[in-house]
Amino acid sequence: MKARNISVTFNVDVDDSRPWFQVPKSIAGLLALRSGDAIAVSVGTPEGEPLYHGLAKLDFHAKSCKAHIGKRLKKGDEIRVTAFHPPAGTVRDR
């Protein structure tokens, strides 16, 4: 059987300290991503209004994995994120 693209959807609040959002480490692990890698995301409101579709850069810290997108997010807002493995050539070579 040929591998399929995996996507995961989750709701999260935009960080208060910076306009970033946390990606659960389990999702980053599922997609085999490391700090500095890009992850493809669709970001919207919980009601489904689209806010951003594109790439986010991952930044791993001791306790969390954060993603920053070029579009500014409003601190404290709840967002719905669908994360999936980015297109070939986007993630750095292993």
pLDDT interval class at 38 (50, 70, 90): confident
Closest CA to 15 of 72, 83, 79, 75: 75
Residue with more model confidence, 59 or 52: 52
Report yes or no on 89 lying in a domain.
no
Q: Of 4-8, 15-19, 41-45, which range is least confident?
A: 15-19
Q: Write the CA distances from 75 to 6, 53, 66, integer angstroms.
A: 28, 19, 14
- CATH number, domain of 56, equals 2.40.30
pLDDT interval class at 5 (50, 70, 90): confident
State the total domains in the chain. Answer: 1
Range of the domain at 68: 7-84
Which residue in this structure is represented by tokens 């791993």? Answer: 60
Report yes or no on 92 lying in a domain.
no
